[in-house]
């Protein structure tokens, strides 16, 4: 028998704002950061997970994760790991902590870190990558991981089970196909706002040469820039190549419709985050207003209840789950089920630090055991910071190839953690003014 002994949380920040990588219309100066959790046991192993943030506030996020220690420390590891539906429901139901959301924001992301670290530990003890640990569960076991409260007006228990049973048929063949061909990626690497037209052009050529079959451009800061960059991209990539756009919540609904219509001659594949992520009704209005351009959102969608409404209102065409925004694997499983119910593809959000490594497991699960084959499925890829992870993502011919190493993908190299500890690691100590609050003043 082993017991949980500690939740150690480290504030790890990369000084990405020193360059313009990662800049978009709402996030001009991100320092990609991880509130990094090591869930210790009195055995030699541990589970890890991280919550991605973009700098300031990573300390608050870290404190929120640490506040969950009393739920785990001293408890039997195998007992908890054998009922990850139970611990998930316990954490989201903590009646006092729930007040801080409910089920959204800092406290929910903290719960997500704990849940994801538990899954990491479970997968490691099974000697499997997370995606395979999940795909090895029966439909009933998967369903038990989910909390359907507040969802049953859109997804009944019976419907969820039916989706999972259908997903189980042919699973082994889809696992074999996944291992052979992976899941297509699309790349945002060329599209950051801060890049010159020359750099944009060069990176677009590289993206196609590397086998990516879709790219995404950031838009929303300046209409003339958006038009010029979309025109360049269309010229470089040709008439049929999918080029998505991402406005990072910049617009109100009328603005969004106007802006997307102005760019429609360049045939964008989707417009992502056209407005506030909580605004279900505005997304529905925008979708009507810009059809046939698709609507994508989700990287900042706070809960399964929000995704449910976006789907019920026919407000989105693409569900962009994020590995660290909601309450972990379990809540994301509910979101995958909702997307399958409504027939909307799941194209996970990634980038940042560690998000590619983590979220791929959800897409692989979706591909082999939930929605199954879907040519619309693509995982975002940004070529940033992968070198800091024990198992960096493997992209071949523009597709994510599934890892076979155990765990959930979140484990960082010890040297990377040590170098980037905030504020005392060497990367930050050398430049004490590197995270100035002045940058926050608009």
* Binders of its own copies in range 267-296 (CB under 8 A): 275-282, 285
- Nearest approach in angstroms of CB 100 to its own copies is 5
Question: For 203-210, which contacts have Cβ atoms below 8 Å and span 24 or more sequence positions?
Answer: 204/232, 204/233, 204/236, 204/237, 205/236, 208/237, 208/241, 210/395, 210/398
User: Taking CB under 8 A as the rule, does residue 98 contact its own copies?
Assistant: yes
User: Taking CB under 8 A as the rule, does residue 19 contact its own copies?
Assistant: no
Cβ atoms of residues 9 and 37 within 8 Å: yes
- Among 71, 216, 218, 420, the one annotated catalytic: 218
Q: What is the spatial distance between Cα 427 and Cα 434, in angstroms, rounded to a whole number?
A: 9
Q: What is the spatial distance between Cα 345 and Cα 265, in angstroms, rounded to a whole number?
A: 25
Cβ atoms of residues 146 and 334 within 8 Å: yes
Please say which residue, 49 or 123, places its beta carbon nearer to its own copies. 49
Distances (CA, A) of 403 to 377, 394, 408, 409: 18, 8, 10, 9
Cβ atoms of residues 322 and 299 within 8 Å: yes
Near its own copies by CB under 8 A: residue from 22, 55, 298, 348 = 55
Cβ atoms of residues 189 and 381 within 8 Å: yes
Q: What is the spatial distance between Cα 87 and Cα 93, in angstroms, rounded to a whole number?
A: 10
User: Taking CB under 8 A as the rule, does residue 313 contact its own copies?
Assistant: yes
Concerning whether 171 is annotated as a catalytic residue, the answer is: no
Please say which residue, 73 or 267, places its beta carbon nearer to its own copies. 73
Size of the site for its own copies (CB under 8 A): 71
- Nearest approach in angstroms of CB 241 to its own copies is 31
User: Taking CB under 8 A as the rule, does residue 82 contact its own copies?
Assistant: no
User: Taking CB under 8 A as the rule, does residue 85 contact its own copies?
Assistant: no
* Binders of its own copies in range 30-49 (CB under 8 A): 30-31
User: Taking CB under 8 A as the rule, does residue 320 contact its own copies?
Assistant: no
User: Taking CB under 8 A as the rule, does residue 89 contact its own copies?
Assistant: yes
- Nearest approach in angstroms of CB 339 to its own copies is 17
Near its own copies by CB under 8 A: residue from 9, 49, 54, 334 = 54
Q: Find the part of the chain contacting its own copies (CB under 8 A) among 119-127, 225-233, 236-244, 300-308.
A: 300-308
User: Taking CB under 8 A as the rule, does residue 95 contact its own copies?
Assistant: yes
Please say which residue, 38 or 61, places its beta carbon nearer to its own copies. 61
User: Taking CB under 8 A as the rule, does residue 196 contact its own copies?
Assistant: no
- Nearest approach in angstroms of CB 102 to its own copies is 6
Near its own copies by CB under 8 A: residue from 48, 303, 408, 416 = 303
User: Taking CB under 8 A as the rule, does residue 94 contact its own copies?
Assistant: yes
Q: Find the part of the chain contacting its own copies (CB under 8 A) among 56-64, 182-190, 258-266, 367-375.
A: 56-64
Q: What is the spatial distance between Cα 291 and Cα 287, in angstroms, rounded to a whole number?
A: 6
Q: What is the spatial distance between Cα 54 and Cα 13, in angstroms, rounded to a whole number?
A: 8
Cβ atoms of residues 296 and 270 within 8 Å: yes
* Binders of its own copies in range 226-265 (CB under 8 A): 249, 252-254
- Among 349, 384, 388, 420, the one annotated catalytic: 349
User: Taking CB under 8 A as the rule, does residue 60 contact its own copies?
Assistant: yes
* Binders of its own copies in range 329-348 (CB under 8 A): none
Near its own copies by CB under 8 A: residue from 29, 159, 314, 390 = 29
* Binders of its own copies in range 144-173 (CB under 8 A): 149-153
User: Taking CB under 8 A as the rule, does residue 297 contact its own copies?
Assistant: no
Please say which residue, 29 or 419, places its beta carbon nearer to its own copies. 29
Concerning whether 218 is annotated as a catalytic residue, the answer is: yes
Please say which residue, 28 or 211, places its beta carbon nearer to its own copies. 28
Instruction: Please give the radius of gyration of the chain, using alpha carbons only, rounded to the nearest integer.
Output: 21
Query: Which positions are annotated as active-site residues?
Result: 218, 349
């Amino acid at each position: 028998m082993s017991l949980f002994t500690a939740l150690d949380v480290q504030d790890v920040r990369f000084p990405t704002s020193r360059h313009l990588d990662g800049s978009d219309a709402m996030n001009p100066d991100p320092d990609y950061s991880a509130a990094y959790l090591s869930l210790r046991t009195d055995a030699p192993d541990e589970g890890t997970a991280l919550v991605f943030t973009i700098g300031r506030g990573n300390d608050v996020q870290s404190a929120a994760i640490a506040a969950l220690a009393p739920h785990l420390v001293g408890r039997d590891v195998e007992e908890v790991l054998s009922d990850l539906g139970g611990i998930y429901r316990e954490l989201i139901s903590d009646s006092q902590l729930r007040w801080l959301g409910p089920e959204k924001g800092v406290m929910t992301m903290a719960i997500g870190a704990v849940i994801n670290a538990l899954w990491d530990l479970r997968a490691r003890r099974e000697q499997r990558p997370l995606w395979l640990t999940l795909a090895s569960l029966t439909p009933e076991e998967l369903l038990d991981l989910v909390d359907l409260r507040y969802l049953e007006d859109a997804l009944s228990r019976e419907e969820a089970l039916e989706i999972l049973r259908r997903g189980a048929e042919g699973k082994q063949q889809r696992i074999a196909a996944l291992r052979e061909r992976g899941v297509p990626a699309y790349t945002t690497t060329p599209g950051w706002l801060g890049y010159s037209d020359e750099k944009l052009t060069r990176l677009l050529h590289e993206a196609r040469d590397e086998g990516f079959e879709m790219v995404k451009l950031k838009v929303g800061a300046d209409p003339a820039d958006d038009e010029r960059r979309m025109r360049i991209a269309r010229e470089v990539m040709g008439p049929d190549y999918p080029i998505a756009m991402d406005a990072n919540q910049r617009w109100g609904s009328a603005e969004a419709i106007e802006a997307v219509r102005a760019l429609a001659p360049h045939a964008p594949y989707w417009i992502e985050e056209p407005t506030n992520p909580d605004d279900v009704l505005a997304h529905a209005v925008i979708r009507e207003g810009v059809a046939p351009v698709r609507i994508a959102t989700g990287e900042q969608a706070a809960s399964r209840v929000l995704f449910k409404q976006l789907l019920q209102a026919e407000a989105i065409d693409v569900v962009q789950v994020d590995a660290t925004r909601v309450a972990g694997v379990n809540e994301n499983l509910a979101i995958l089920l909702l997307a399958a119910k409504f027939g909307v593809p799941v194209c996970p959000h990634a980038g940042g630090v560690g998000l590619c490594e983590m979220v791929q497991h959800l897409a692989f699960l979706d591909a082999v055991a939930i929605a199954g084959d879907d040519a619309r499925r693509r995982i975002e890829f940004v070529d940033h910071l992968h070198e800091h992870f024990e198992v960096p993502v493997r992209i071949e011919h523009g597709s994510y190839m599934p890892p076979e190493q155990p765990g959930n993908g979140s484990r960082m190299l010890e040297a990377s953690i040590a170098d980037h500890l905030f504020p005392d690691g060497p990367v930050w100590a050398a430049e004490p003014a590197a995270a100035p609050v002045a940058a926050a003043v608009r």
